[in-house]
Amino acid sequence: MSHQGKSPSALIEAESLPSASNTRYSPIPETVPAQGPSPSATDGFQAFHLHPSIMAGVQAAGYVTPTPIQMKAIPPVMQGRDLIGLAQTGTGKTAAFVLPILHRLLARPRGQVGALIISPTRELAEQTHETVTQLGRRTPLRSVAIYGGVGIYQQTQKLRDGVEIAVACPGRLLDHLWQGTFDPSHIEVLVIDEADRLFDMGFLPDIRKILQCLLHERQTLLFSATMPDDVRHLVREILHDPVTVQIGLMRPVASVSHALYPVGQHLKTPLLKAILKGNSMESVLVFTRTKHRAERVSQQLRGAGYRAASLQGDLSQYQRQAALDAFRAGSVKILVATDVAARGLDVLSISHVINYDMPDSPDAYTHRIGRTGRIGATGEAFTFVTDKDEDMVRSIEHLLNAPLERRRLPNFDYRARPAVGEFLRAPRRDGRRPIRSRRPAAR
């Protein structure tokens, strides 16, 4: 199935979210029209009446036409409304909240944190911080990214010097709150970004603690690709009369073509190498189920002469950043990542996503595929499937509402026996080493 050649606005399909079942709360209001006329795409960003210094940042970033989420979200956010943004990464959602925040904070005293953006991962926090810096470059507003795994001193110093916007992961933010190095008392806008992933990663207790420090009145914006019940509950508790804007979140962007490659588990790496050899690929993101496998596959690719790196949770922050920088700069062409590590990864030129291992849910498939086919671009998504993956294939086909093309690579030896050591080294589904690979007891 191919969706290539669609216009940017067609990348995002307006789909209806299935309403929450068995929720104890009354349903969240569906899309509420923003007050006043909605700007049309041809008006570009002018129609939002952003401060000229912000418009200069928009222009410098090269944005010409607002994306659908920006069209729908910016007007109500500028009016001060609370908002639920149902949109996945790749839709331009970051600018949809960053631009109104910059506009609002320009009118406030400097040196106080006026907006707090909560992110699930360091990578997303860094990227959001970069977007704030990029769009706000012609304004005097400053932002700081706050996350763990790195020294706290520099963050404390930046906070002490005075910033207006903080982009923070929950754990490290709590450290700052407890140490008294982060003053939440002037926060006017709170953004909870990728709420579903925050919940997935077990951050709900931390978020509740953070919310206890923000008891004063504020504008709250919550962005999420999906609406599990946990997120709905939080929405009902902390958002006041929210506007809901919804941008086709349940389906992968339409500029991506999808294909399945049936293959035995032991032949995945040879197949990956054969595909890489036979296609001209600008930059490739390979997903594996476990950290160990990400590391092993990237080593195997490097051994075969490819410029590959891994991105997985066992790396230090420095190693992760080095891998990301090299991938962005193009010196690494293939990044082998786990779902969590790649979350929020924003590299516009990713041409191919290869699911070395099947994702564990249709949602995860959407998130992985969202890494390619970014605004105005097209991409390809290849998924390796073994016999065990058939149920998930059916779920993804259901999500896409179309059967997925199954491909066989010509001239590939599908009957080859496992390479020596290949089978033995394959990690178990739970990420532990297989029993047979353990060193035999000394006799």
Phi/psi at 311 (nearest 5 deg)?
-135, 100
Nearest to ligand AMP of 89, 119 (CB atom): 89
Question: How many angstroms separate the CA atoms of 107 and 109, rounded?
Answer: 7
Cα distance between the two ends of the chain: 57
Please state, as a whole number, how many other Cβ atoms lie within 10 Å of the Cβ of residue 290: 18
Helix (H, G, I), strand (E, B) or coil at 199: helix
CB of 121 to ligand AMP, least distance (A): 13
> 């932002």: which residue's tokens?
143
CB of 269 to ligand AMP, least distance (A): 31
Closest residue by Cα to residue 122 from 424, 301, 340: 340
Nearest to ligand AMP of 197, 374 (CB atom): 374
**Strands 334-337 and 284-287, sheet pairing:** parallel
CB of 9 to ligand AMP, least distance (A): 10
Alpha helix segments (H runs only) across 86-169: 93-106, 122-135, 153-161
CB of 66 to ligand AMP, least distance (A): 5
Residues that bind ligand AMP (CB under 6 A): 63, 65-67, 70, 89-95, 346, 348, 374-375
Nearest to ligand AMP of 124, 163 (CB atom): 124
CB of 95 to ligand AMP, least distance (A): 5
Contact 114, 186 (CB under 8 A): yes
Nearest to ligand AMP of 91, 220 (CB atom): 91
For residue 111, the one-letter residue type is: G
CB of 63 to ligand AMP, least distance (A): 4
CB of 348 to ligand AMP, least distance (A): 5
Phi/psi at 217 (nearest 5 deg)?
-70, 140
CB of 153 to ligand AMP, least distance (A): 29
Nearest to ligand AMP of 104, 374 (CB atom): 374
Contact 261, 389 (CB under 8 A): no
Nearest to ligand AMP of 200, 346 (CB atom): 346
Nearest to ligand AMP of 189, 301 (CB atom): 189
Closest residue by Cα to residue 168 from 199, 146, 143: 146
Contact 344, 119 (CB under 8 A): yes
Closest residue by Cα to residue 370 from 186, 199, 225, 171: 225
Nearest to ligand AMP of 95, 168 (CB atom): 95
Residue 247's H or E segment, with its range, is none
